[in-house]
A and B are shown apart, each in its own frame.
Chain A
Amino acid sequence: MNTVRIANGQAFWGDSPAAPVAQVRGGDIDYLTLDYLAEITMSVLRKQYERDPDAGYARDFVDLMSEIMQECIERDIKVVANAGGVNPQGCAQALLDVAASKGISGLRVGVVTGDDIMAQLDDLESEGVPLQNLDTGTSFDEVRDRIASANAYLGAEPIARALADGANVVITGRCTDPGLVLGPLVHEFGWQWDDWDLLAAGTVAGHTIECGAQASGGNFQGGWRTMDDLAHVGYPIVEVSADGTFVVTKHPGTGGAVTTATVTEQLLYELGDPATYLSPEVTADFTALQVQEVGPDRVEVTGARGRPPTDSLKVSMAYSDGFQGAAMITYAWPDAIAKAELADSVLRTRLKDLGLPLRAIRTDLVGYNSVHGRVVPPAGSDQSEVVLRVSIWADDPDTVSRFAAEIAPLVMGPPGFTGLLAGGRMRPSRVMAYWPTLVPKSVVDPQVIVRDGV
């Protein structure tokens, strides 16, 4: 095999349902990768799983697969997705059920587990693993009794193993996004786990397409006006060679564009120290990457360098952290801003009178300065209209509900209360907060099982 073509069809849960279908039907690909898990998604899935032991995974993925499974098997397009959530086995079963009900033969589902370390937390603590917050250094004791999920980021290795065992669909739980791409490359090219530069190249390839159309014209600050047909934006494909060189492209006839500028924006996206891009199998260095156009919508990336990884795995935990609510009211000319400011002042005085225990309160004038603040000052203050947005954060839902009851009475404040922009009285929304930490690699043991359909 000269090159392997790997397509991304989903950058996050809620991304375009049409994108993965277009990636399968728009031309030749060898692999379709799909990312469903944001940082706190696992806690939501764990709640679903506790209510229903058959749930707890990305149901959208099963719906998608029921549409494309037959075609993928016939054309030997392998699918790698972190759709398993907290129940990869349940997700696999759902796929097997789809295959059975549709009479599709040849499905072989590889299931990767071992990322869920929720049951190990007590043992880890007693063994002296600190589990402190990686970003803030805060002690784990602060949140221990509120933890709702805890998952280590697995990498490419168990995915490559599942493919070597014959899987044509691989489902993981928590897994690094680039691992979804590196796993297939290791499997296809027989790269070794100490081929540092190659592992780095595969990681960079994965990083390039993990955010979907952000590599191919979506969210493109450098030239969004010039992107054709964003309604049908082509999601990115990497054509990777055995030497780690890869070309970023997209299917013909799709919207957007793949240029050095779109690819460079994505290479820098969510990047920390560019010489030290951490992942379970390799630490990648972006500082010698070269990006050049080699044809229309074809950009070649070379020069990835790698070195051995650290001894730790990153862990993503989620914990319950109070409740929030936001009220939004539109005021209009004349004196839109002055009226919004008076309403805010009336509201805050009443909240103070009530003595509500707020953890935080924030006022924004949406349409005036709510995004850039003083960094990009508003041109003037004689707005035709402005949205007053007041948001709060509290420990308990009752506080948010009491705050909500103070919004409608503002109709008796400054004139021109046009109604609540977000509809009826707000309901408190539970906040699930993110707790990143590290654990020694030795405490995580990724397992792979391949389950055959008919």
Chain B
Amino acid sequence: MQPDGKISGLDRFRIMRETRIGSFAPVLLALAAIWAWFGLALPLWDLASGEADSFRAIFLSPRNIYNLFMQSALIATLAVGITTVLLLGEIDLSAAATAGVCAALLGVLVLAGIPGWLACLIVMAIGIVMGAAQGVLVAYVGIPSFVVTLAGLLGYQGLMQKILPTGNLNVGDPFVRGFTRVLIPDTWGLALGMLCILLFAYASLQRQARRRALGLEVDPSPALWGQVLAFGTIVIAVIVTLNAYRSLPLLLVLLVGITSLLGWITTSTPFGRSLFAVGGNAESARRAGFNVNRIRVAAFGIVGLMAAIGGIFGASRFGSVSYTAFAGGSLLLEAIGAAVIGGTSLFGGRGSVWNAILGALLIGSLGNGLDLTGASAADKLMVSGAILILAVAIDALSRRDGSVGQ
């Protein structure tokens, strides 16, 4: 029905974005470009212009990469949560404030002598309630999520100030601090990475074999092995780099674990399918028998949970809870930016939590790189804005459909 052979560049681009790996390509390329710029181009320029007497790859040094990952982890945790509501076509502006309230509560609870693990569980439950409450307003009362979560942003900011009248509280609890302080020994880290790669390869091959047995279209073998190879290279490279400075921190293992779980839920369960269906066409989803309202509440509950986890991670990393680090700072916009830059559509129905991780890494790299080159805060804001616009433009272009082929 469609005239074959006449596919414009834009169509090609859209088709590529639809594939599993293709959706990672733009953000991976952007990340590579930023790393090449800060890691190679700028040091070489310094060397050539005589400003530096030797090649100094500060940005790509293991120490900086380690810091970069840790800096991005908090943004990534929130971005992963925000991705779930973006899939529905909703937005959550209150995630950072929720994280702030949860972190402040955590600080108060451990100060009151409640054991760290219990305090973490309590704030996670509170995070879910804070998120789901907004979800109820969106789904059952019918207020646009932008307004509900804007009110949530203001209200939760105020709540955080109430909990922390001084605006600052140190968190010394060993359990909470442990998330960032505990390092996985080098060999264990490598073994864990190998295990992940083996599982990935096994799952891919298993799937391929079943496809063949059922007589379905089979992905070409080079593509399959290319995926396994790319996945393996990235995992090993990350672990080796982190080992070269310290070791694999527990925080990153937890972040990847939680993201895997959420990634699996969003792509491979009926619940996840319902998220995409509601994001794509809520009325169709309703007629197909999905309980759209309950799905909305659940998605907002997940953001709340991820925000609470983000609050715990933040408190663990900073060793303190402060108003500016969470609610009052740029965390919220960075997290939403990370989700969108990763390639999750603001219009709903397309995206992935893994893209949010890459987006967070990209935002983190940009901030880190500009800091290292001594750029001013003004420069950072302007570059971040430009990147965000670029990402949304890519989203809008790849969304315009219906005219493919005719």
Instruction: Tell whether A pairs with B.
Output: no
Chain B interface residues (CB < 8 Å from chain A): none
